[in-house]
Amino acid sequence: MTVIKNFQVPTVPVKNLNGSSPVHPALAGITGILMSAAGLPVCLTRPPKLVLHPPPVSRSDIKSVPGLGHCCRKTTKKQARKGRTPEEVVRRYLQKVRNPPEEDCTICMEPLGSPSGYKGPVVSGGPRGELVGRLAKCGHQYHLQCLVAMYNNGNKDGSLQCPTCKTIYGVKTGNQPPGKMEYHVIPHSLPGHPDCRTIRIIYNIPPGIQGPEHPNPGKPFTARGFPRHCYLPDNEKGRKVLRLLLVAWDRRLIFSVGTSSTTGESDTVIWNEIHHKTEFGSNLTGHGYPDPGYLDNVLEELRAQGITEEENVQKE
């Protein structure tokens, strides 16, 4: 009789009580029967449980974040910007191009030496669509007419973003509805960060009516899943991320109003390209810990929104 040493017993995960599993219970059962018939040992296991929230924390155990005296930040409705027309805003960031290169404008896909393909209001300073400008920082060139059209189709907040390289000119803001952002330290550690406590962020946005900066002005919008709880390690890099998230919140860039990618619901509050960790003690959905690259990734996402540490973020 041959004895097989160090034989590893295959494990077949089955559906847990919360209804999430990589293997359907019926498939797990059939697999177990077939393995048993082949003389193979079977060990049925349950996958880890989803842990969204930390253990209960008393009010006395909640502390302020080091370096940030306040623990709450509110946003209000967008303040109207006055004094500059769309063309004046765009011209602030452009340099004149007297002899356009033999290239296409990547907005309208027409040659830069030809009129703009956009049939909108005439810009000043020359025949319609014939003016070409170079963005001062990145050097990409476009029809002035096309840039004005792009600006009019955006948030019209006084900033401009290059459609080719995403360089931001001015201060980019979003259309996040009014709400409240709370942040504090709780005496629990995140998976992968056993040597520090945890920063908990709580976002709360109520439903309301869409404003002129939203997809459907005057129409109600929903706000599902609020308050939303998010987590950062309470270490130097985690606090840096929090400071930059506060800037993003003030600029109304954390959330937006649009169509949910998970439910398909339109006219609802959605995340806006800055990822957050909403699982406290697990990482079953990809929105938890451990995740060694998360802090660096979210810093890059903030940079893409024009928010960096170099801006000398004001500490509260």
pLDDT tens digits for 231-259?
Answer: 999 999 999 999 999 999 999 999 999 99
Give the residue-averaged pLDDT of 119-135: 72
Tokens of 227: 């308050």
State the chain's mean pLDDT as an integer. 86
The CA R_g of the chain, rounded to the nearest whole Å, is: 26
Does pLDDT of 307 surpass 90? yes
Higher pLDDT, 84 or 266: 266
- What is residue 314's predicted lDDT score, i.e. its pLDDT? 44
Which has more pLDDT, 21 or 296? 296
> Looking at residue 80, what is its pLDDT?
47
Q: Kindly tell me if the per-residue pLDDT of 6 is higher than 90.
A: no
The string of pLDDT tens digits covering residues 23-76 is 555 666 676 666 666 666 666 566 678 999 999 999 999 999 998 877 888 887
Percentage of the chain exceeding pLDDT 90 = 68
Average pLDDT rounded to a whole number, residues 268-294: 96
Provide the token pair at 9. 């017993």
pLDDT at residue 316 above 50?
Answer: no
Torsion from C-alpha of 296, 203, 278, 173, nearest 10 degrees: -40
Average pLDDT, stretch 204-222?
96
13 has pLDDT over 60: no
What's the rounded Cα separation, in Å, for the pair 269 and 207?
8
For residue 215, the model assigns a pLDDT of 93
Report pTM: 0.78
CA contacts within 13 A on the Cβ side of 40: 15
**Band of the pLDDT at 313, cuts 50, 70, 90?**
very low
Q: What is the mean pLDDT of residues 115-128?
A: 71
The token duo for 221 is 């919008």
